[in-house]
Amino acid sequence: MSMVAEFWNEIAGPKWVEQQVQLDAVMAAHLELLVGAAELAAGQRVVDVGCGCGALSLAAARLGCSVRGVDISRPMLAHARGRASTESLDIDFAEADAQTHALPPGTADRLLSRFGVMFFPDAPAAFANLRGWLAPGGELHFLCWQPLEENPWMSKVLDIAEPWLEPQPSAPHAPGPFSLGDPERLRAVLGAAGFEDTLVTDVRLPMSVEGSPEEALRFYLERGPIKSAMSQSDEARAAVREALMALMVAEHDGEAVSMDGACWLVRAR
C-alpha cells in the first residue's frame, strides 16, 4: 500500500467518517457551488474523483445522474455506500487510485471533484488519465485550495501551532491540500494532460465550524498536521490546546468559528 493510500485508509479516512456530518456542513456552500457550475442534468454520466464519504456523489445522483465514485479509502467508501443505500440511490463506488485506474474511454460526461485532486503523487499523469475517461465534449469541474497564505482558516492555526509541529515536506508542489494553489501551474498541468478551455475562477468562501469554540477546537485538532502536535508531550499538547482555544474564542461570532477561505473553481474541456 502506498503512503498516500495508507494515510487515507488508516489515519484520515476513519476520522473523516467520524466527522462526516460536520465536514459536510463546513463545505456545504462549496458543494452547492460546484454542482451548479457543472450544470448537472438527469441522464449525465458522472465520475466523482476522490469521492470520500460521498457528499458530491449523492448530490449528483439526486439530480438523476448516473454516478460512479472513485476513492482509495475503504472506510470512507463503506460510509458512502451506506449513505447511498439509506436514500436508495444506485451509485457505483469503486476502491481505486484515480491516477492509474483504467476506465473505458468515454465513460463520463462530467468529471467532478470537491477537494479530491490535490493529493496525486504525479499530478500531470493523473489528469492525463482522467481526461481519458471523458466522452467527447465532456468536462472536468473541481475545487482545489489556493495557496496556504490565502487561507486564514488554516494559516492562522498553523502559525499558532508551528513551534510544536513536525517538519513538513518543503517541495512546493508535493501532494497535499495546497499543491495546486499556483493557478499558472494548474493551467499548465491541465494543458499538458490534453484539456482545453481551462477556466480558473477565484472563490472566497468562509470556513465556518458551527457550534461552540470548544467544538471548533476539537475539529481543528483532528485536521492534518495539527494532529501531529497532539502526539507529543503532555506539555506540548496543553500548549497547543491553550493557544488554539484562544484563536477559536477570538474568531467565534456567537454561532460558529468562521475564518476566511480561498479556493479555485476549475472547469476544463
Q: Tell me the per-residue pLDDT of 12-36, one tens digit each, with 9 for 90 and over.
A: 889 899 999 999 999 999 999 999 9
List helix spans (H) across the chain.
Answer: 3-6, 12-18, 20-26, 28-38, 55-62, 74-86, 123-133, 152-161, 183-192, 213-221, 226-229, 234-251
Torsion angle (degrees, nearest 10) of CA 244, 261, 207, 12 = -70
Give pLDDT, residue 168.
61
Complete domains list, the chain, with CATH: 3-147+172-208+261-268 (3.40.50.150)
C-alpha 89/C-alpha 92 separation (Å) is 10
Predicted confidence at residue 71, as pLDDT, reads 97
- For residue range 49-80, list pLDDT tens digits in order: 999 999 999 999 999 999 999 999 999 999 99
